[in-house]
Amino acid sequence: MTDPADRHDDFVRIGGDGRPRCWWPGDDPLYVRYHDTEWGRPTRDDVTLFEKLCLEGFQSGLAWITILRKRDNFRAAFDGFDPERVAAFGADDVDRLLADAGIVRHRRKIESAINNAQRALELIDEAGSLAAHLWSFEPGGPEGEIPDGSPVPAHTPTSARLAADLKRRGWTWLGPTTVYAFMQAMGLVNDHLPGCWVRDEVDADRGGSDRPAPASHRV
């Protein structure tokens, strides 16, 4: 199954239901539902944001549909991705997760998720919420708008700045490409392709919802 990160053939295709949508979900019902109802919709819930950062890290080197099919297992294994609970995981939890065939059993990615939960709590203490900090990196100009005929980027200057910011704070397994995939999925940009039936809905969702209070470094 093709992944949104494999941005080589940027076009809109007509799905089995007759609707035009981005090419990457194909006809997989789970993937189509994710594309239509989740991907790009503005999200400001801290648990959801933390979950997606973790899952994007686990997705590195894999197709997103692989993670999507395991998402319920991940949620059960990681206590719903509550940062406070994950931050308290210890060596026994790492062993438990490495033995869990329902998730991606990769020690460094598991340890990264635990580390990042601890860093998330620090950021919440500093900024008031993950959302307040992460949404302060929402591009304020044309970045994230796809002109007709232009390819969807794999990363952007803003995703590089956010990745560098998180790295400086001790987060791991989050480079510019992984961070841009997170920005796309969580609605910091609208990368539904022109002609995709979801694009206008996402524009309306993004335009009609309040942003968290921005940080002073807004870009």
* DSSP states of 19-67: -EEESTTTT-HHHHHHHHHTTT-----HHHHHHHHHHHHHHTTS-HHHH
Look at residue 68 in the predicted model and tell me its pLDDT: 98
64 is catalytic: yes
Catalytic residue among 39, 64, 171, 180: 64
Determine contact, residues 107/154, Cβ cutoff 8 Å: no
Look at residue 102 in the predicted model and tell me its pLDDT: 98
> Tokens representing 143?
């970045």
Report DSSP letters for 113-170, one per residue: HHHHHHHHHHHHHHHSSHHHHHGGGS-SSSTT---TTPPPPS--HHHHHHHHHHHHTT
DSSP 79: G
180 is catalytic: no
56 is catalytic: yes
Look at residue 219 in the predicted model and tell me its pLDDT: 35
Catalytic residue among 31, 56, 138, 180: 56
pLDDT tens digits, 81-100: 999 999 999 999 999 999 99
Look at residue 9 in the predicted model and tell me its pLDDT: 44
Look at residue 207 in the predicted model and tell me its pLDDT: 87
pLDDT < 70: residue spans in the chain: 1-10, 148-149, 209-219
Catalytic residue among 24, 31, 34, 173: 34
Look at residue 11 in the predicted model and tell me its pLDDT: 86
CB atoms within 10 A of CB 8: 8
What share of the chain in percent tops pLDDT 90? 83
